[in-house]
Amino acid sequence: MRKILTIPLLILISLMAEGQTPVGSWSDHLIYNTAECVAVGTDEVYASTGSSIIIYNKAFAELKKMSRINGLTETGISTITWSEETKTLIIAYKSTNVDLLKNNIIYNIPDINRKYIPGKKEINRIRTSGKYAYMACSFGIVVADLNKKEIYDTWKPGTGSETNEVWDIAFGNDKVYAATDMGVYSADLSNPGLSYFGNWRLVNLLPAPAGKYTSLIFSGNKLYANLSDPISGGDKVYVVDNASSLFSFTPGVYNKSFDSTISGFTISSSGLIRYYDINGALTKTISSYGWAIPNISQAIVDNGDIWIADITSGLIRGKNINGNISEFLALTLPGPVSNNAFYITSSNGKTIICGGATDASWNNQGRPLQISIYENSNWTSIQSGTIIDPLRALTDTDNNNHIFVSTWGGGLLEYENNNLIKQYTESNSPLQTTIPGRANIRICGMAMDKSKNLWITQSEVPGSIKVLKADGTWIINPLTIDAPTIGDIIITGKGQKWIVLPRGYGLFIFDDNKTPEVFNDDRYKKLLIQDTENQPIKSVYSIAEDMDGNVWVGTDQGPVIYYNPENVFDKDLKASRIKIPRNDGTNLADYMLKTETITSIAIDGANRKWLGTAGSGAYLLSPDGTTQIKNFNEQNSPLLSNSIASLAVDNKTGEVWFGTSKGVQSVRGDATAGDEKFSKVYSFPNPVRENYIGNVTITGLLRDSQIRITDISGNLVYETVSDGGEATWNLNTYTGRRVATGVYLVFCSSKDGSQSYVTKMLVIK
């Protein structure tokens, strides 16, 4: 068992300098407009989004959030519940890991996750009684002692001949009941041997004794059991007393959750909540919020109010006004439209996330158009139910509000101020459909040249390269690339177009000689990657040009680099691989990240390389790639997943964005793009308070600025060189001691000494 202090959950750090967050601080960008289950505590209400938790403080009407960034062990949450007796929130993950949140401390119980259990291993529901939490699992019931924070026992209701999945648990008349795939079982709670299946008895009074029962509640000395019967076209609820009888059945209604109230219980289905008193009489129903159609997963009554986990609308509070639930409030936090992040681009303070996708063979995933835009700490979403799989986004170099989006089937989309102004298809442009008579225009890569011509790559049709000019006219290059799929395109500083050919077809390099409308002077070359030792590398996944004009390519054997790429047509250009000496006396070396698939490459303001991988997280390499500066993964950082689909660096803020298989997050990097002159130079935080722990950042610098920090008397205490447009200081002198209270001067100068700037900061020890 481990414990983590989750104080960041309760504190939102605000810094003095233009709202900047500290270098190295993480932020989650997960969805908070959906809720899968809800738990009502003494002071707070908790709702799981599936990836994180929304927290609502009842006394102060305050919303907070909790994710892996500030303490949760994992991201994929299966269910949560509250123990009033022990004042503990129990969080179960899809991996069967378990967290206990008590007094703002998270205690992790990894035992179920670590134990080998053949077959399916999931936690479906948690019920509490006294000091115990009872987890209904795919292999039985796991009992946890919440005071000792450890696993107490494992119970096995069933026949013993095969694994019996448990969906829900109920208590009554000194018995425990289990709703399972093979009927409802009961046992005496006083029996110490419930790990033995023979101490459980099938409830034969039910009309389908061996049926699949998914929910249970014990109320008024009666047991209510939900039978999942797909043949009947809806769930049937039976009540068991001395006999059993059909309690509720409505065709098309499938029940999600049974939950207790002070005077009875509720049954939640997707569009309906039913209140029953202790005798089983229907007293109230909720079927509308007035402003939205319910899509309910669970509902819990608390002091007359009702708290609803709604898949579509998030956490809903139904307010009790004069004995009636007459007002419904959605309690959500800003975030992206979904956790899908196939591609991220970020520049000049704006980040755009594309939620589409393709599979490994570049077939459609069929995700609806979902574009999330983050700017000035605000989220905006663009959605469409008729267009699918947005793959890439590109911002106009001169107009941050002018955006293009490529889709895998819906053509090219053009937006101004987040409003769709044109959809380019086969009906209004030279773009062709892959299926005659049906709109299926597959576009992936986009790049804008210095003349504001938009270059795009189109797959599975003649003419692989097309250009949308700034005046709205088109250039149709007659060239057809011999590859089934045409991927990303970049335009180098020399004007060359480098194109990724997925699925093992290498690269395609194209030079239009700065005359895109003239074709007889074009040069092009299909390039299968060979390294300097003539070893072939077949699969290409990503590409980027660095600040020195070198082209970095992400492959399934790590990164490779093309130096002097402008010579690609005149020489047999080979890809260089970075060798790292073993330093073991053998004079041998290994290739940097040679076993990793590099899914994404981004260059930060210091010309360092951020590499996203398919299975080991993200890496930060030095400008030349020979030094691994950082590796963020699930084990050593708050990274949501080791599988990175895309990453991007905002040149203005230094924020590094990660699109993982489990959602989006970012970390405040320490490098921004250097300015052409010193402007808006400042340090943050400023003043530095006595309880501050971390680095001070100086921003607004030129690339490779020389930084000297002195006290007010001119004594040098620290000097460094900026990473791009930022520099950091750990507040220590060269001797490793924290500086004394006082005003400190920051002298900044350009690399050649032609420009300089002085700013100051106050440090309080």
Boundary-marking domain end, from 638, 668, 698: 668
Residue 299, domain member (yes or no): no
**Alpha-carbon span 35 to 314, nearest angstrom:** 4
On whether both 651 and 699 belong to a single domain, the answer is no
Proportion of the chain above pLDDT 70, given as a percent: 97
Q: Are 577 and 686 found together in one domain? A: no
If one counts the domains in the chain, the total is 2
675-725 tens-digit pLDDT: 889 988 999 999 999 989 889 999 999 989 999 999 999 999 999 999 989
**Segment 478-517, tens digit of pLDDT:** 999 999 999 999 999 999 999 999 999 999 999 999 999 9
Query: Does 126 map to a domain?
Result: no
Domain CATH code at residue 731: 2.60.40.3080
The CATH number linked to 516 is 2.130.10.10
The pairing of beta strand 37-40 with beta strand 264-269? unpaired
Is 699 in the same domain as 654? Answer: no
Q: In what order do the strands lie in the sheet with 350-354?
A: 343-347, 350-354, 368-375, 378-388
pLDDT above 80 for 36: yes
Mean pLDDT of 627-654: 96
Same domain, 559 and 701: no
Q: Band the pLDDT of 8: cuts 50, 70, 90.
A: very low
Is the domain of 649 the same as that of 698? Answer: no
Extended beta strands in 528-578, E state: 529-530, 536-537, 540-545, 551-555, 558-562
Q: 115 near 159, Cβ under 8 Å?
A: no
- The residue out of 668, 698, 718 marking a domain boundary is 668
Pair (585, 714) in one structural domain: no
Confidence of residue 133 (pLDDT cuts 50, 70, 90): very high
SS3 519: coil
The answer to whether residue 480 sits within a structural domain is yes
pLDDT value of position 9: 38
DSSP-derived secondary structure letter, 198: G
In a domain, 311, yes or no: no
Instruction: Please say if the pLDDT value at position 71 is more than 60.
Output: yes
Task: Please report whether residue 753 resides in a domain.
Answer: yes
Residue 266 domain flag: no
Q: Which uninterrupted H or E stretch holds 112?
A: helix 111-114
pLDDT reading at 196 higher than 50: yes
Per the prediction, the chain carries an average pLDDT of 94
Q: Are residues 499 and 418 in the same domain?
A: yes
- Residues 46-66: tens digit of each pLDDT: 999 999 999 999 999 999 999
| DSSP-based three-state secondary structure for 619 | strand
What is the spatial distance between Cα 611 and Cα 322, in angstroms, rounded to a whole number? 58
- Quick one: 417 and 520 in the same domain? yes
Distance (Å, whole) CA 516 – CA 254:
60
* Residues 713, 626 within the same domain: no
pLDDT at res. 20 = 62
**In this structure, are 524 and 658 located in the same domain?**
yes
- Give the pLDDT confidence of 563-591 residue by residue, as tens digits: 999 999 999 999 999 999 888 878 789 99
pLDDT of amino acid 3: 52
d(CA 742, CA 721): 23
Same domain, 480 and 520: yes
Cα-Cα-Cα-Cα torsion 549, 617, 354, 33, nearest 10 degrees, comes to -150
> Where is the domain boundary, 641, 668, 695?
668
**Cα 607 from Cα 596, distance rounded (Å):** 21
CB-based contacts of 317-326 (< 8 A; 24+ apart in sequence): 317/45, 317/56, 318/286, 325/284, 325/286
Residues 727 and 594 in one domain: no
In a domain, 585, yes or no: yes
Q: Is residue 209 part of a domain?
A: no
Stretch 267-279: mean pLDDT:
96
Of 18 and 192, more confident: 192
**Residue 706 sits in which domain range?**
682-763
